[in-house]
Structure 1
Amino acid sequence: MTIRHVVAWKLAAEDAETRAEHAAEVARRIQALVGVVPSIRSLSIGPNMAYADVNGDVALVADFDDLAGLEAYQVHPAHQEVVGYVRSVVASRISVDFEV
């Protein structure tokens, strides 16, 4: 069974330029986890490109072999370092984990 981890963030910055900078940095930092966190099987992340008034600002889709792989990702020190930055620029987060 593969676990798909989907996350969307709304960023805290009120001006579009700062929000875009933060979105790009969130995406860059999370993308850099590929090859560092062994349990990541695939990862796609990017800033929103349409309907900014109603959409989130950044979204992530990542696949793991199983729930244990997702949990290993969650607690991996490199991921935890990224989480610190993300929390510093995010207003809200929503996620869903499901089998594919």
Structure 2
Amino acid sequence: MSIRHVVSWRLAATDPAEKAEHAARIIAGLESLVGVVDEIRSLTVGADVAGGDNWDVVLIADFDDMEAVARYQAHPEHQKVGAYIRSVVAARMAVDLAF
């Protein structure tokens, strides 16, 4: 059984340029973890293109099991990216699905 880790963030910035910059930095930071954090089996991250009341950025990442998710979350490089994300978001939603 594998785990699909899905996280969405709503950014705190209201200025469109600032919001786009924050989203780009989140995306680049998370993408930089591929090949660094061995537990990541696949990772897709991107900014919402529809606008409106949608969440601003979403991450979809696959792992072998929940223990691998925990190791990913504890990895020092993930912690660095997470610190930046926490500094620019207003809300977070996460779901871990078995597939």
Is the aligned partner of 1:63 residue 2:62?
yes
Q: Give the 3-state SS of the residue equivalent to 1:7 in structure 2.
A: strand
Q: Which residue of 1 aligns with 2:11?
A: 11
Q: Give the 3-state SS of the residue equivalent to 2:90 in structure 1.
A: strand
Q: Which residue of 1 aligns with 2:26?
A: 26
| Structure 2: unaligned runs, 5 residues or longer | none
Q: What residue identity is the alignment partner of 2:92?
A: R
Q: Please show how residues 57-96 of structure 1 align to structure 2 within 5 Å.
A: 57-96=56-95
Whole-Å Cα distance in 2 between the matches of residues 9 and 67 of structure 1? Answer: 21
TM-score, normalisation: structure 2: 0.98
Is the aligned partner of 1:41 residue 2:15?
no
Whole-Å Cα distance in 2 between the matches of residues 17 and 57 of structure 1? Answer: 13
Instruction: Quote the RMSD (CA, aligned, Å).
Output: 0.6
Q: Give the 3-state SS of the residue equivalent to 1:35 in structure 2.
A: coil
CA-to-partner distance for each residue in 1:3-55, whole Å, 9 max, x for gaps?
000000000001111101100110000000000000000000001111x2210
4+ long deviations beyond 2 Å: none
Q: Give the 3-state SS of the residue equivalent to 2:23 in structure 1.
A: helix
